[in-house]
């Protein structure tokens, strides 16, 4: 009934095993000159370079520029997609009216909007913010819509028969039961937003991690390209962990599937 949150050092070690093995493989491969050093410098060298760029402030400046765009574009998308998706889910005529448009817009990959974004907004923050907004809004909208339609109708009926009016049923039943799904939408959307910002910065901007990487490539600094990639990965991992923690806090009520119990061999009973 209760699952333990404590993670033993053994399982902690198991989590790090694969990344460590890859790191060693990388370092050894580069040192033994199995790969052209220009194409793949040793990991330690990349890390040292990353440390240097971090201290000089260059990396943080670019990261901050990217993060600011993500915040704006993704924030705007969030404000529109979550309430919008819920409204579409609760009001079928609205869904029918927008279905065609939404399914046409969604497969349009974010980079496909870049030329238009540059024509409209020129070079700078605006086109990047636009790309992030366009790239994340429709997918979060569709995800939220699907989650809203999947809310247990029996729970809604139960609330009504306990005296709720329509608005109270939305406020006290539909919204709380949507919390886990909405957090998942935010997590997926934020990942998507970082993909969009890098794509946008590679063409339409003069600052940001994406720009930093393109510049590094032009100067043939493979190490710097890798530093940029690592920075994005670390930021992404960090924010995802943060959101996961939030989900755990907000969704304690969920029974949850315990895969360890499902797939582990049967416990031996004394």
Binding site for another protein (CB under 8 A): 1, 152, 154-155, 157-164, 168, 172-173, 176-177, 179, 251-255
Least distance from another protein to the Cβ atom of residue 254, Å: 7
Q: Which is nearer to another protein, 20 or 246 (CB)?
A: 246
Instruction: Report the alpha-carbon distance of residue 259 to residue 249 in Å, rounded.
Output: 20
Shortest Cβ 13–another protein spacing (Å):
32
**Shorter beta-carbon distance to another protein: residue 64 or 179:** 179
Q: What SS3 class is residue 44?
A: helix
Question: How many alpha carbons fall within 13 Å on the CB side of residue 218?
Answer: 8
- Kindly tell me which of 2 and 263 has the beta carbon lying closer to another protein: 2
In the complex, the smallest distance separating the C-beta of residue 157 from another protein, rounded to whole angstroms, is 5
- Planar angle of CA 241, 242, 247, nearest 5 degrees: 95
* Torsion (CA) 173, 189, 238, 46 in degrees, nearest 10: 170
- DSSP conformation class of 265: P
Residue closer to another protein (CB basis): 52 or 254: 254
Phi, psi angle pair for 244, to nearest 5°? -60, -40
**Minimum distance, C-beta of residue 173 to another protein, in the bound complex (Å):** 7
């Amino acid at each position: 009934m209760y699952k333990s949150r404590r993670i033993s050092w053994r399982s902690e070690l198991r989590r790090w095993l694969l990344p460590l093995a890859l790191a060693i493989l990388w370092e050894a491969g580069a040192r033994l000159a199995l790969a052209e050093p220009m194409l793949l410098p040793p990991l330690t060298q990349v890390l040292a370079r990353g440390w240097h760029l971090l201290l000089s402030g260059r990396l943080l400046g670019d990261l901050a520029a990217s993060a600011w765009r993500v915040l704006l574009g993704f924030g705007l998308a969030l404000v529109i997609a979550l309430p919008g998706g819920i409204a579409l889910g609760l009001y079928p005529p609205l869904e029918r009216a927008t279905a065609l448009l939404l399914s046409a817009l969604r497969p349009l990959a974010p980079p496909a909007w870049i030329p238009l974004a540059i024509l409209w907004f020129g070079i700078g923050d605006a086109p990047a913010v636009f790309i992030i907004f366009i790239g994340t809004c429709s997918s979060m909208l569709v995800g939220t819509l699907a989650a809203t339609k999947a809310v247990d109708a029996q729970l809604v009926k139960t609330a009504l028969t306990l005296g709720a009016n329509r608005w109270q049923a939305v406020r006290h039943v539909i919204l709380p039961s949507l919390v886990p799904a909405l957090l998942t939408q935010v997590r997926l959307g934020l990942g998507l937003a970082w993909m969009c910002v890098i794509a946008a910065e590679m063409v339409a901007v003069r600052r940001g991690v994406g720009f930093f990487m393109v510049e590094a490539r032009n100067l043939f600094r493979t190490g710097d390209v890798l530093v940029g990639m690592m920075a994005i990965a670390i930021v992404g991992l960090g924010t995802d962990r943060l959101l996961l923690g939030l989900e755990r806090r907000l969704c304690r009520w969920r029974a949850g599937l315990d895969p360890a119990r499902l797939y582990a061999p049967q416990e031996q009973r004394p």
